[in-house]
């Protein structure tokens, strides 16, 4: 069976000059969104600006470039240290609610994938492989590795996965703010001393490297989060990351997400736009419904629960929680649990349901 051609997105790594230009454009967008008071504006502004510039083939090819692994690791390291600084006694007490909430999240994922796939197959006439892989939330790199060895329509899967993250990062902060949730300023506390921050980055980088070698989702960010969290839980550190690094980490995560639009086939939006929007809308509605239910049952803030259940990536949703002043550890725990669920569940689904349907 022949496979669909690869989307040009996600593959070519750019020269340093293009990466510098990408970060500069993203930083301009992030500062613009922050200046007009958009929640989590540093990350969402960077991503939106790069997506906008990337809509022009000329500018996209000449100016924007994919971020290199060292730049991505730096973004995750600084963001992880910033997230770990949010650890409080309330964070530790919330751990008691994690098991029940994670179980709810698993049912949410199953419902989300089933409904979204059904709509894509029934109304948009997508094939099963494409519909299922497009519906699986928040495991973009893993799903793309399957797409390239399957009969799925790769451009469609890439488009749904990319625009779902774009929608969440760009619009969810505004949605959460409109629900009446009190958002805490990330710069409300004084910054940690340079020595403490450097120590967190150095140790966090080592632990993050180990986690990355173990192939944990967002390993660099996760390692930095744990180290910084330990610093703050023990009282060795009591502040937050310096403002420059705190904002820079968010901008770089936004640039990473936005640069993925380089080489994107924008004409696919004209062909498959309604189908993509339907798939994304179902995913978001289902996650919001489950989040509202579990937030009520477990007495958790809706904003944090919604981000925990949202069909976005580990890095983006965790950074978004931190930027909005919500509990990033609660959000990270759910996305990490979902990553393991998908790593186990998708191969089983693929070898049973999909394979059986092919034989019929």
Element (H, E) at 140: helix 140-147
Query: Quick one: angle between helices 302-309 and 314-323, nearest 10?
Result: 170
Element (H, E) at 292: helix 267-298
Assess if residue 158 is contained within a domain: yes
Helix, strand, coil percent values for the chain (each to nearest 5) = 75, 0, 25
d(CA 221, CA 206): 11
DSSP state of 235: T
* Structure tokens given for 77: 């390291």
Torsion of CA 44, 45, 50, 53, to 10 degrees: 130
Supply the range of the domain harboring residue 159.
68-359
Average pLDDT, the chain: 80
Assess if residue 45 is contained within a domain: no
Assess if residue 332 is contained within a domain: yes
Look at the chain and report how many structural domains it folds into: 1
**Is 187 or 81 the better-scoring residue by pLDDT?**
81
Assess if residue 17 is contained within a domain: no
Tokens 């509990």 belong to residue:
327
Assess if residue 54 is contained within a domain: no
pLDDT tens-digit map of 100-135: 899 999 999 999 989 998 988 888 888 888 888 888
CA gyration radius, the chain: 20
d(CA 47, CA 57): 17
Predicted pLDDT at 358 = 53
Assess if residue 315 is contained within a domain: yes
- CB-neighbour burial class of residue 78 (10 A; exposed 0-12, middle 13-18, buried 19+): buried
Question: What's the rounded mean pLDDT across residues 284-290?
Answer: 93
Predicted pLDDT at 196 = 93
Assess if residue 226 is contained within a domain: yes
pLDDT band at 185 (very low <50, low <70, confident <90, very high): low
DSSP 316-332: HHHHHHHHTTS-HHHHH
Assess if residue 11 is contained within a domain: no
């Amino acid at each position: 069976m022949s496979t669909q051609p690869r989307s040009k997105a996600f593959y070519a790594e750019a020269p340093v000059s293009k990466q510098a230009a990408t970060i500069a454009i993203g930083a301009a967008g992030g500062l613009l969104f922050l200046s007009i008071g958009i929640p989590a504006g540093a990350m969402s502004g960077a991503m939106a600006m790069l997506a906008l510039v990337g809509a022009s083939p000329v500018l996209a090819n000449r100016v924007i470039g994919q971020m290199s692994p060292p730049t991505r690791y730096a973004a995750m390291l600084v963001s992880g240290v910033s997230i770990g600084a949010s650890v409080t006694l309330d964070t530790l007490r919330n751990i008691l609610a994690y098991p029940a909430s994670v179980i709810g999240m698993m049912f949410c994922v199953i419902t989300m994938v089933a409904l979204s796939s059904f709509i894509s197959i029934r109304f948009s006439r997508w094939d099963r492989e494409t519909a299922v892989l497009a519906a699986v939330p928040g495991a973009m790199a893993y799903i793309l590795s399957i797409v390239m060895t399957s009969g799925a329509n790769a451009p469609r899967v890439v488009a749904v996965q990319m625009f779902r993250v774009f929608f969440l990062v760009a619009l969810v902060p505004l949605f959460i703010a409109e629900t009446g949730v009190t958002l805490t300023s990330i710069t409300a506390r004084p910054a940690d001393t340079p020595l403490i921050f450097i120590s967190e980055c150095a140790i966090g980088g080592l632990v993050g490297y180990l986690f990355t070698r173990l192939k944990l989702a967002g390993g660099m960010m996760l390692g930095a989060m744990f180290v910084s969290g330990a610093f703050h839980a023990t009282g060795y550190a009591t502040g937050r990351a310096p403002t420059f690094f705190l904002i820079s980490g968010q901008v770089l995560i936004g640039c990473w997400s936005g640069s993925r639009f380089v080489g994107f086939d924008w004409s696919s939006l004209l062909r498959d736009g309604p189908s993509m929007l339907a798939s994304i809308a179902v995913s978001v509605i289902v996650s919001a419904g489950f989040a509202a239910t579990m937030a009520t049952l477990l007495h958790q803030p809706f904003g944090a629960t919604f981000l925990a259940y949202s069909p976005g990536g580990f890095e983006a949703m965790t950074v978004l929680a931190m930027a909005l002043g919500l509990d990033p550890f609660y959000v990270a725990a759910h996305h990490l649990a979902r990553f393991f669920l998908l790593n186990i569940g998708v191969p089983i689904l693929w070898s049973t349901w999909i394979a059986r349907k092919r034989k019929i």
